[in-house]
Amino acid sequence: MKKFIFKMNNLLEFKEQIENNKKAHYVQALKKYRTEKQKLDNYIINKKKIINQKNKVSENSTILDLKHYSLFLTHVNKKIEKQKEVVFTYQQELDNRKKELIEASKEKRMLEKLKERHYENYLYEVKKEEDKITDELVSFKNSKN
């Protein structure tokens, strides 16, 4: 019997390469997202520290000191808003990369299932051929007796 050959094996390998590329792009997007999200979290923590510090010293502070705190808080709030936009952008990119990866995985899985079905058919044909040979041998032995 012939050796099993999946005629679309090259296509399957190509789809595997595409999936691996999509995984790499997804991982890169995830790293970027996490980095930018961490920056945002740090800005928010920094803002809370400034507010706490302002509240602690507000009784003994001058109006000028309070104005500096307010200006600094305004500056931090602007950074937070800009960073939220950056995080949102990276979140969208991450979502897009995830969709691409899922689609590539589906395409590869579809070909893998097709290969599996072809292999099962191949095994069935091999078994059928073996059974035929066995039957012929039995018939041959019976005809000799």
pLDDT tens per residue across span 56-68: 887 788 888 888 8
Q: What average pLDDT does the segment 117-143 reach? A: 90
Q: What local confidence, expressed as pLDDT, does residue 137 receive?
A: 86
Q: Higher-confidence residue: 53 or 32?
A: 32
For every residue of the chain, DSSP letters joined together read -PPP--TTHHHHHHHHHHHHHHHHHHHHHHHHHHHHHHHHHHHHHHHHHHHHHHHHHGGG--HHHHHHHHHHHHHHHHHHHHHHHHHHHHHHHHHHHHHHHHHHHHHHHHHHHHHHHHHHHHHHHHHHHHHHHHHHHHHHHHHH-
Residue 136, pLDDT score: 86
- 3-state helix, strand, coil split of the chain in percent (to 5) is 90, 0, 10
pLDDT class of 77 with cuts at 50, 70, 90: very high
Mean predicted confidence (pLDDT) in 58-86:
91
Cβ atoms < 10 Å from Cβ of 16: 14
**Which is nearest to 37 in space by CA: 76, 75, 94?**
94
Closest CA to 22 of 132, 129, 96, 123: 96
> For residues 142 and 77, what is the distance between their CA atoms, to the nearest angstrom?
95
Is pLDDT of 119 > 70?
A: yes
**Domain boundaries of the chain, sorted by first residue:** 9-112
Give me the CATH code for the 9-112 domain, please.
1.10.287.1700
Per-residue pLDDT tens digits for 84-113: 999 999 999 999 999 999 999 999 999 999
What band does 71 get if pLDDT is binned at 50, 70 and 90? very high
Q: Does the pLDDT of residue 125 top 70, yes or no?
A: yes
Q: Work out the average pLDDT over 120-136.
A: 93
* pTM of the predicted protein model: 0.78
pLDDT, position 145: 62
Average pLDDT of the residues in 131-136: 89
